[in-house]
Structure 1
């Protein structure tokens, strides 16, 4: 691991130093930092490090995408920075992500990330055991070998509440053994719905939640089958953290060692079983019923939507919101159909990378893409996404389209997933049923073939490598240019002086900056609104001649969530030069503590021969601002 020591030191340096780190963890491909001040991190410097794929900001985390060797890099980062995998500063409120949605995603990822590797390993073991049972017949199914392998593979699924009790306890700073005991209580055989219903008639029925077969201190106890469940135990451990906080406050220190766990368990478990569990189970059932309704309406639509959106969800870490629903489906029904639609995504992306490799003119890039193709085949796509497909745009879109078609075919055929298994090619065995039926596995091979063929053909025939095209354009002497007008009135500053490294170092393209003196933003070109961010702080325009512009009003103003901005256009609108796009409240932005410096960027700079900003110190709306030569 020492070979990653230099990389670890550089990563810590460019995230603002060890003193700027509240916590650090990792998933399959990413280091996930919580920083005290993200503005101290240098995105561009990190992206340029050998060994770093890219940098992402998502769900309140500062994510450094590394690739397959992230565990080794993480170990070195912890060693160099003096961190532990539980290290948090006392500034827990500063460390928490802002916004309800970000907090929910953070909780789900925090509880599931430590489980993902063992979960996939267990799924592979179960799948291989099912494959052996299919190949070797009943003699193997009745053997001790089958029983032992099944126990190894099935343990994490059967005792999932205990596992999540542990990870949730670490997330919410609860005594981890107490968290495990909460999970174990929910796995206890005599309180499962099947056990209680088999023991006698229902004592009554409660609206919305169903029959109950027992009471606790006179209160109806609505039982459920909690083994294999995922959400209830996480919510109950969060509630236990609340109880623990006040127990630590009120109980004398000399008695805390056993009385704090006593009160946490005696309060949280009964309330969890009587109230939280039934309510959460009812709510999650609505969500799973919603996905089931879409699937029942049209399996093809379900597969198309999940397949197309999956890679986009992964980029932002939002796929974690869907995985628990799939796990619950497997626990309740023995199979899942939600994740079936996404199975082709890694293969679609891998095929797109293969087509890019064949068409690349740069030998160095072709050498670099080969490892990304190999890792993609085994289910790890971040190096391919961030290093090659996403920067080129079209291959990424083509891979999403191919994944959608592959997912649609898979769900149309009736594919069912029986375990949350391995990634990439290792995931095929997760489609073998426990009874040894390999039908869905055969369908998965069809999904792989369709996804790869479509992804390869679309990329091969409709993507071109523009490397060295500039020299060809010059030789042909077909120079054209477009004058970009100023969208604002104000003082002009060179782009390198903008107080944001990503803009100042040209990571997003060349351009210029303006410090506006009035709050009117007009279109600098005739064109189309290609992007209008929901927070209205940034707007993208594609001119009729193909110049792609980004107007980013202020720095870090995304945090204002649209306050102080009013849009007069929407995404997809055709606009004319000088047309009013936005009204902005400059005083409100400054009062909130944000800079009004506004970069105007040519985002497809690499496709242009030259970008020539004005040398004026001040401009008014519609003045000539940038000359683009193409």
Structure 2
């Protein structure tokens, strides 16, 4: 029996059965389902499953949080359901069909900006440090800045502008690259297009446009084609122009790939994609995008700095955590970046950091109330630390949303902090680490105020969480009687284990060519997601038991079988890739689930010729799925030809 077989069966039933699953995959911590009818998913029953830490719906996917054991859970779910998983991209594609245009646009923005956020965070920290060096007049230095009194720090300040300029001035290159990456087109063309938007030698720097007279631009900064001219304007740090230009390049390349013959596509597709996109960028998309970007930043900035900025801050601060749940918070990345380009900083991002701190403080209060319960403490304390460092998912889905009252307390504290943040015009240099370290990205003159606001975001939610719990406000009935499902999982008694160091020899279940697992065609197996082992290219269609044990699962399609030994070793043998689609054709099972077998017993016969003629790869992974308990090592040098019964792997109890 697989480690999570019972929980997997319960989950399959609770999500509406196999017929309700359109696609399933998993990431590092959660199962991701695309359901035909989400209303059939019984959320309460799902969250009562011990292995489940929470659920939420985002970007058209119903996501079930499992934790670090998700690869093992995924394997057991596939076994009991007979549903083959798909790649993350395939799941996203299936989910996209269930999204409205706004959801698809937000999902696209998220996937475009996520890869470049680390660079923006680094840039924000650099600018914050440079502000301290050159922008603060220290009383201890007779009212001078650090760079004015120290040649060393002056040199450091000058050197740090190298990466700072690269990150912000050259941001369009990152955006056009990321667009190409997201759209599956040539990334190098995206990079070239981005460079053509910010060329420092041929274009007037965007930061200098406002201070350059129109007459000078018309004379010195144009391409003159005789009967018309095009301005040589750069788009340093501009978001919308780069986004529009990157999308035009991607859609042009997709179009030309379809209509140009493959034999000449290498020549004509790049040329006919890049050149028109570049022309569009400097004649239409760039100027229009510049105006749109300025409109957006002007409107948002007006709300953040106008007469009712306190109200804007209170509303945004209160609602940011719910935005995270819906995924709409990704839109703020583009707005923040545009604000930084147009006004030299963002008033929006400090409130995001404060919201993360507030939700972390609510979890910390929950931890404090349950600190003597070791199982609850194991959940709440790491979640609060994670939120304080800018990652709120464990806090939101592990505790706050589950019990409601910490979530409400966090929202109220965040709203108060947001109101005060906009009242005092607290401004960040750039997007930073969205928690306590976020103070390093705040402009120097606002650091003191932001420190006080962090204190508000810590104290208010903490106190309100304690008050709500004691008064019974916003508390769910389940909180009175039921511990969090993940706490119940921690409470489960451990199954009988073999002594550390126990060695199990796994024989080859097939005759053929054995190779290292990394050479498997399917990346899910090749990357070790399902576990560790080897892959065999079979020369004969007879599969035997590689160990003494019990058939823990036999897929209805007979293309895969799982075994568990008396020592607790769990094996999965998967005949071919995507052969589940054959629905059992070409396979004959000689055992059934629950049978006890000896090493060498026949398990499955399969027709290699029939599988290949149907277009399927027949290579077969032999996987140790409970890799947290057993270390799998090849018992022979690979690649190598093996016979059935040869020693193939050794599994050592960790």
Task: Say whether the fold is shared (TM-score over 0.5).
Answer: yes
1:214 aligns with 2:222: yes
Asked if 2 retains the 8 angstrom alpha-carbon contact of 1:59 and 1:103, the reply is yes
Partner of 2:602: none
Structure with more relative contact order (C-alpha pairs < 8 Å, separation 6 or more): 2
How big is each residue's C-alpha offset from its partner over 1:257-296, in whole Å with a ceiling of 9 and x where there is no partner? 1321111011111112211122222223222211122222
Q: Note the C-alpha offset of 1:341.
A: 2.8
Q: Is the 8 A contact 2:34 2:94 kept in 1?
A: no
Distance verdict in 2 for CA 1:383–1:202, change over 3 Å: same
CA distance in 1, matches of 2:408, 2:238: 35
TM superposition shift of 1:170: 1.8
State the partner residue of 1:282.
Answer: 291
Question: 1:132-181 CA deviation, whole Å, 9 max, x = no partner?
Answer: 66688112675443344443354322221111112111222221111111
Contact 1:356 1:459 in 2 (8 A): yes
Q: Is the 8 A contact 2:106 2:330 kept in 1?
A: yes
Q: In structure 2, what is the equivalent of residue 120 of structure 1?
A: 121
Q: Deviations over 1:594-617 (max 9, x none)?
A: xxxxxxxxxxxxxxxxxxxxxxxx
> Could you say if the C-alpha distance between residues 130 and 183 of structure 1 is closer, same or farther in structure 2, counting changes exceeding 3 Å?
same
Matched, 1:156 2:167: yes
The aligned counterpart of 2:446 is 440
The offset of 1:33, in angstroms, is 5.0
C-alpha displacement of 1:88: 4.4
Superposed displacement of residue 344, structure 1? 1.5
The TM-score normalised by the length of structure 2 is 0.59
SS of alignment partner, residue 99 of structure 2? coil
Tell me how far 1:250 sits from its aligned partner. 3.1
Change (3 A) 1:411 1:20: same
Asked if the contact 1:304–1:341 (Cα under 8 Å) also holds between the matched residues in 2, the reply is no
Alpha-carbon spacing, 1:284–1:351, altered in 2? closer, same or farther (3 Å): same
1:299 to 309, 321, 328: 309
Contact kept in structure 1, 2:113 and 2:333, CA below 8 Å: no
Describe the SS at the equivalent of 1:418: coil
- The residue aligned with 1:185 is 196
The 5 Å alignment of 1:500-519 reads none
Task: Please tell me whether the aligned partners of residues 35 and 61 of structure 2 are also in contact (alpha carbons under 8 angstroms).
Answer: no
**Contiguous gaps of at least 5 residues in structure 2:** 139-144, 483-654
Residue in 2 that maps onto 1:324 = 334
Deviation, 1:316, is 0.6
Provide, for residues 180-200 of structure 1, a one-character-per-residue CA deviation record: whole Å limited to 9, x for no partner: 111111121222345678887
Offset at residue 449 of structure 1 (A)? 0.8
Q: Does 1:98 align with 2:106?
A: no
Residue 349 of structure 2 corresponds to which residue in structure 1? 339
Change (3 A) 1:152 1:302: same
Does 1:355 pair with 2:365?
Answer: yes
Give the Cα separation in 2 of the matches to 1:75 and 1:225: 49
Tell me the equivalent position of 2:396: 385
Kindly indicate whether the alpha-carbon contact (under 8 Å) linking 2:311 and 2:419 is maintained by their aligned counterparts in 1: yes
Residue 421 (structure 2) pairs with residue 410 (structure 1) = yes
Q: Secondary structure at the match of 1:422?
A: coil
Question: Once the 2 structures are TM-superposed, how far is the Cα of residue 37 of structure 1 from its aligned partner?
Answer: 5.2
Residue number in structure 2 paired with 1:111: 112
Aligned mates of 1:231, 1:97 — CA distance in 2 = 27
Q: Is the CA contact (8 Å cut-off) linking 1:308 and 1:404 kept in structure 2?
A: yes
User: Partners of 2:403 and 2:117 in 1: how far apart?
Assistant: 30
Relative distance call for 1:195 and 1:470 in structure 2 (3 A) is closer
Contact 1:174–1:237 (8 Å) recurs in 2: no
Output aligned runs, 1:448-487, within 5 Å: 448-464=454-470
Taking a change above 3 Å as real, the CA distance of residues 200 and 131 of structure 1, as seen in their structure-2 partners, is closer
Quote the residue 2:278 is aligned against: 269
Is contact 2:199-2:234 (8 Å) kept? no
Structure 1 residue 340, shift from structure 2 partner: 2.8
For normalisation by structure 1, the TM-score amounts to 0.61
Change (3 A) 1:41 1:21: farther
- Cα pair 2:133 2:153 within 8 Å, conserved: no
Q: Is the 8 A contact 1:121 1:422 kept in 2?
A: no
Residues in 1 aligned to 2:237 and 2:72: alpha-carbon distance in whole angstroms: 33
1:65-110 deviation line (CA, Å, top 9, x unaligned): 567x799999999xx999777x549x95874553211121011011
Q: CA deviation at 1:317?
A: 0.8
| Greater Cα shift, 455-464 or 439-448 | 455-464
Question: Shift of residue 115 of structure 1?
Answer: 2.2
The answer as to 2:243 corresponding to 1:234 is yes
Between the aligned partners of 1:463 and 1:121, the Cα distance in structure 2 is 39
Residues 174 and 241 in structure 1, CA contact (< 8 A), matched pair in contact too: yes
CA drift of 1:335 comes to 1.0
CA contact (8 A) 2:309 2:422 kept: yes
Q: 1:225-244: CA deviations, max 9, x gaps?
A: 41212222222222222222
Cα distance between partner residues in 2 of 1:72 and 1:225: 47
Q: How does 1:509-588 map to 2 (within 5 A)?
A: none
User: Does the 8 Å CA contact 1:25/1:31 hold for their aligned counterparts?
Assistant: yes
Of residues 422, 440, 450, the one that matches 1:429 is 440
User: 1:172 aligned to 2:172?
Assistant: no
Going from structure 1 to structure 2, the CA distance change for 1:121 and 1:297 (only over 3 Å counts) comes to: same
8 Å contact kept, 1:124–1:426 = no
Moved more, 391-400 or 149-158: 149-158
The CA distance in 1 between the partners of 2:63 and 2:255, in whole Å, is 34
Aligned residue in 1 for 2:501? none
